[in-house]
Amino acid sequence: MVDEALRCLRPRSGGLYVDATVGLGGHSAAILDAAGGGARLIGIDQDPGALDIAQQRLRPYGPAVTLVEANFADLDAALDEVGETDADGILMDIGMSSYQIEDSGRGFSFARDEPLDMRMNPETELTAADVVNRYRQEDLEGLIREYGEERWARRIARAVVEQRRQRPLRTSRQLANLIEGVTPGSARRRRHPATRTFQALRICVNDELASLRRGLDLALERLRPDGTLCVIAFHSLEDRIVKRRFRAAAESPAPTYELLTKRPMTAEDEVLDNPRARSAKLRAIRRAPTSGNADDPES
């Protein structure tokens, strides 16, 4: 959703922008290119492997780019670390990067047989293997139902507990095959039956929803007047949190914020090249300028 994000952010020469989920650096490069030179960018990511790739990709931009290893839930500390207090635009793309799915070796995808890890920050302790092999059946069912919005949560949790009594679940393929074997055929028509459970485990392991709530609060606080916050979400739990937080900010008396997206933007054109973008929804909000009026990207 690069075009939609740029339309809301309006990068300009002399501006300071934060890519709070820099990933492989694609959005960061697009922001700097759109600014036409003279802009600066701070890229934040908690995954050191992704940061290494981003550093190589963004090397041509030289000192215009500063990368910080951090979670966007620590956005304030990350900005303080590089001597900045606020920004003209902040972008948060909450989805996983292609590196994490395809090359990290941490079991994010059920299409590969990898260790059940799912940590975006490999320095944290809790892994997906810990969750599936140690959590009580009731707790497993609850997190799969809540974080995965999975209809068959009870059946899946029961199967996991029965399996681990014989042998612990260690790999993504083991878990995916188990789930596929206990869900009905109707659950397999539109997506792989393990999709929602993998989502739930990833959210649990990385404490993603709490991090998102804190990250949104900090991003809104750190916007300059006339600055824009853009958030790209990939499932309903995230999008609901963003929608409610933006609405609360827009209804707050001070400081004043303006919703730029009364409905979320989607990336219909990008879906042809990137099927993952099918579920992406972008919402944007702008802090009121000190004087004058801001243009609405949907007008």
Which domains, ranges and CATH numbers included, belong to the chain?
2-99+208-287 (3.40.50.150), 106-206 (1.10.150.170)
Q: What is the pLDDT of residue 270?
A: 52
pLDDT tens for residues 233-261? 999 999 999 999 999 999 988 779 999 99
Q: What is the pLDDT of residue 275?
A: 54
Q: What is the pLDDT along the chain (299 residues), one digit of tens a residue?
A: 899 999 999 999 999 999 999 999 999 999 999 999 899 999 999 999 889 999 999 999 999 999 999 999 999 999 999 999 999 999 999 977 676 777 678 888 888 899 999 999 989 999 999 999 999 999 999 999 999 999 999 999 999 999 999 999 999 999 999 999 999 877 667 789 999 999 999 999 999 999 999 999 999 999 999 999 999 999 999 999 999 999 999 998 877 999 999 899 997 655 545 555 668 999 999 999 876 544 555 44
Report d(CA 22, CA 42) in Å as an integer: 9
Evaluated on CA atoms 176, 208, 57, 297, the torsion sign reads positive
Q: Which residues contact 190 (CB under 8 A, 6 or more apart)?
A: none
User: Rounded to whole angstroms, what are the CA distances from 122 to 30, 48, 126?
Assistant: 28, 8, 9
Among 25, 26, 98, 95, which Cα is nearest to 66's? 25
Q: Which residues pair with 89 in a beta bridge?
A: 17, 228
Say how many C-beta atoms besides its own lie within 10 A of residue 233's C-beta.
Answer: 23
Q: What is the pLDDT of residue 259?
A: 96
